Chains A and B, each alone.
Chain A
Amino acid sequence: MSAKEFVLYIEDLTVSFDGFKAIDNLNLYVDKNELRVIIGPNGAGKTTLLDLICGKTKASKGSIKFKDQELTKRAEHHIVRSGVGRKFQTPSIYENLSVFQNLEVSFPSGRSVLGALGFKCTHEVKARVQAVAEEIGLADKLELEAGLLSHGQKQWLEIGMLLMQEPELLMLDEPIAGMSAKERELTADLLKRICKGRSMIVIEHDMDFVKQIASKVTVMHQGKILAEGTMDDVQSNPQVIDVYLGH
């Protein structure tokens, strides 16, 4: 390890599906409290990378270290409990439950079967739900059934559900997909607010949005890292231009 404190430390990571290497010998380091954006054309392996980190897909080779803990062999829920939160590409919320319940269920206690049976919605939980709901702008919709929210609100709700867990590493897969211009702006503000005190990995296609939030950008292509640096560096990189325009 270098002098800098890495939160996430990925080395030689490879995963192959029937011989096709979706991630190919990838190295990636994410600093503490860094907001990293990953971009890349379709099929570059961005979502697969998140799947690997959160344990949804098992790596064929290589290591993923989160705060010096090896993640590749651990079960999904243990990875989450160690402090990794992940938002899915399509809003993944419990449509039949109220907004309040969605957030309450995500509160990180009572996670075992017996714990969940004995879980009490204490003052602390309620306060936390209220705080998170205000953060994501849904404080006036707590009693609403989540299925009735608009697409953008659903995305925020899922981010809120992750915030309930206070993850140290938050991974968002295309958080602004399908959002209106106004919603994008609000989301950018939200991300800037919540990235304080935690590391974040965001996958995004929208370049304007990336420019708004990112300090450091990683470009992926065919399971490998093509370039890394500030947005301007990356955009002037001939290889990146080739990948984006040449196909």
Chain B
Amino acid sequence: MSMPDPFRVVYSAFRMAMLHWMADPQWVIPNIIAPFVFTTVALTLFKDATGPFGLYAVLGGGMMGMWGNTIYSSGFAIEFERWQGTLEEVIAAPSKLIHVITGRAVSNALFGLTNMIAILVIAVGGFRVSLGITDPLMFAVSLLLTLLSVSALGLIFASAFILSRSAQVLTNGLETPLYIVSGSMFPIALLPFWIHPAAYILGPTWGVDAIRLATSADYVSQSFWAGMSPGMAIFLDLTVMVLITLAYVAIATVLFKLVERRARVTGSMVQA
């Protein structure tokens, strides 16, 4: 018997999660219907607003929905296995639990995209909001990398679920502060100075900056890299985000190792 190939395990867990998404149409509610309702309300209320409305209201709303879905579902991946009654079978396998949860987290991230896409379609198609994406390729790349960064953050949350079912309080409680601190809805400059360090260690903060730069070249003056060309600013944003994401993965790997051993002592992952 060979050691399980990590990439194969990640892919297999990704595929299994996708099969479950397909089999359970409930995802339509948080990913399509809810964003449709919220975007409709926001665009109706602020239809006469001027300025970078698309950047903050539409993109911000989309990102919030997308990240909320990703962080929540990734953190909740362990709980999903508990509900299915498969957690014991999964942890009894020789593959590493973090690889299984990574596959699920990436799948959740992709489904999180539907949230963003739903909002963009409603805003552009239904309300004729002009987003004027200047660099569609970098927009897509930034969006995908940001989603991966959020998934990696979700892995850290997931490790908490190994120790306790009450970890849901943690994900629920941190979701809104994360939106605010990462600058999804309004610029970080508006936040108190002492919150800025917290913003800088969040990968999505840099992802948001890159997405906005790809949407509007004029935004560069408000970005972290004011004075540089938009292309270079996006590159730097993405580089910082990738480094932070790698740090998240490293932290999650250590946390999984620690909490898995702890769970084998306390029995929090099994029914004894």
Q: Tell whether A pairs with B.
A: no
